[in-house]
Amino acid sequence: GQSLEQPSEVTAVEGAIVQINCTYQTSGFYGLSWYQQHDGGAPTFLSYNALDGLEETGRFSSFLSRSDSYGYLLLQELQMKDSASYFCAVADNAGNMLTFGGGTRLMVKP
C-alpha cells in the first residue's frame, strides 16, 4: 500500500518563501509529483522528480530524497495567486497510477 503525509495547512506572507514537505511510504516507487489546485478548479501539474535532487521551474522548485522517502515543494517570491491547495503524489509503477497525499492548503497573506 501507499501512504503520504503532508501538512494540512501553511500560511505565509507575500514575497516570502515557503516549503511544503511530503513524506511517503510505498510498496513501489517510480517518482514524486506535485499538483496545484485552486478552489473550484482542477488540479494542475507542477513538477515531477524521479531522481534525487532539486528541480527548478521558475519560482517553484521540487526536491526528492529517495533514501529518506521525502520530498518538498519550494515556492519563492510568494504571490497572492499562489493561495491554493498543493498535493504530492507518488507514481508506483510505469503505468502512471498515482497515489495522492491529503493536500496542503497554502494561504498567502498581504
Check residue 10 for interaction with another protein (CB under 8 A).
no
Nearer to another protein, 17 or 38 (CB): 38
The closest alpha carbon to 47, from 13, 78, 71, belongs to 71
Check residue 41 for interaction with another protein (CB under 8 A).
yes
Check residue 97 for interaction with another protein (CB under 8 A).
yes
Check residue 9 for interaction with another protein (CB under 8 A).
no
Check residue 44 for interaction with another protein (CB under 8 A).
yes
Closest distance to another protein from the beta carbon of 14 (Å) = 26
Q: Strand, coil or helix: what is 82?
A: helix
Q: What whole-number distance in Å separates Cα of residue 84 and Cα of residue 36?
A: 7
Q: What is the CA radius of gyration of the chain?
A: 13
